[in-house]
Amino acid sequence: MDLDALIAAFDLPASCRVDQRVPKKMLVEHGAPTAADRRLINEAIEAVEWVAALKANTIGVAAYRDDEREYLEIALLVVTLREERTTSAQQTRLIELIHRAVPHPVLLIGVAAPKLSLSLAHKRWAQNEAGKTVLDGEVVHVSLPDDAPSDDALQCFLAALGISRRPSAHLHALYQGWMDALTALATARLTGRFTLAQGAEQAAARRQALAECQQLQAEAAHLRAKAQKEKQIARQVELNLRLKHVEAQLTACLKRL
C-alpha cells in the first residue's frame, strides 16, 4: 500500500495542504500522561507530518457546533513509526496518544512500512476542564492492506474516501462519513464484500453488530484455545459446548452486518 496513493484517495483541494513537520515534543507535552508514554513517543516515532487542515475556508465544508463538541477543523496527520522498536500493542497505544494529544478530530495515517494504518476518533468537550477535549468513544482503526479481503474491496474503500463522496453538511458529518467507510472495511473483512451503509441508522446498527461480532470472535478463540489445552474429558466437552453456542451467536451476528 502506497502512502501517496492513500492521501490522494481523499481528493483534497490544494488549498487545505499544510505539509509541515510536527515536533515530537508537542506530543510529549500534550498527549503523554505517563513516563512510559513519553518514552514510547520519543523512541517509537520517527516523524510526524501535518499534511492538511480541513476547515470551512479550505474545503468549503461548514464548521459544526453543539453542546458536546465543536468541529472547526479536521487535521490530516501522518506518523512514521520505527517498526522494529514497537510491538502491535505499542503501535495501538501510540495511535490513541496522538488522537488524544490533538484538540481537533484527526485523520491519522500510520506508516510502518510496508503497511499503513488509518484511524479516526471523535472528540468532545471534557466535562471537568473548560476548553479541553477528550476522546468520544473508541478509536476506529484499519490496517492496510491487511483488513481488505480482496483488491476489489480495497479499491472500493479507497474510492469511498474521496471528499466529494462523503457527507458534507458540516465537518462532523464529513468525519462520521469517513468513520463509516472504515467500519465498512472492517465489516468486509468478515463478510468478504465492501458495502457502505445507507443512512445514519443503518451505519449505527452496523457499528453495533460489528462490535458484537468482534467480541464473539475473541470469545470463540479463547474457548477454542482452552479446549485444546484441557486434559479432562468432561471439561473439554463443556468448553466445546460453550464454543458451539458462541459460534452460533456469531453466525447470527454476521447476518446483521
Total domains in the chain come to 2
- The tens digit of pLDDT for each residue in 75-108 reads 999 999 987 667 888 888 999 999 999 999 999 9
Residues 238 and 111 in one domain: no
Residues 121 and 241 in one domain: no
Of 154, 170, 196, the last residue of a domain is 196
Contact 112, 92 (CB under 8 A): no
Question: Range of 243's domain?
Answer: 199-257
Q: What is the pTM of this model?
A: 0.89
Burial class (CB in 10 A: 0-12, 13-18, 19+), 231: exposed
Of 196, 214, 239, the last residue of a domain is 196
Residues 81 and 143 in one domain: yes
Of 196, 225, 240, the last residue of a domain is 196
Based on C-alpha coordinates, what's the Rg of the chain?
A: 20
Pseudo-torsion of CA 112, 29, 108, 201, nearest 10°?
Answer: 140
Contact 226, 239 (CB under 8 A): yes
| Per-residue tens of pLDDT for the chain, all 257 residues | 799 999 999 999 999 999 999 998 888 888 788 999 999 999 899 999 999 999 999 999 999 999 999 999 999 999 999 876 678 888 889 999 999 999 999 999 999 878 899 999 999 999 888 878 999 999 999 999 999 999 999 999 999 999 999 999 999 999 999 999 999 999 999 999 999 999 889 999 999 999 999 999 999 999 999 999 999 999 999 999 999 999 999 999 999 98
Residues 206 and 192 in one domain: no
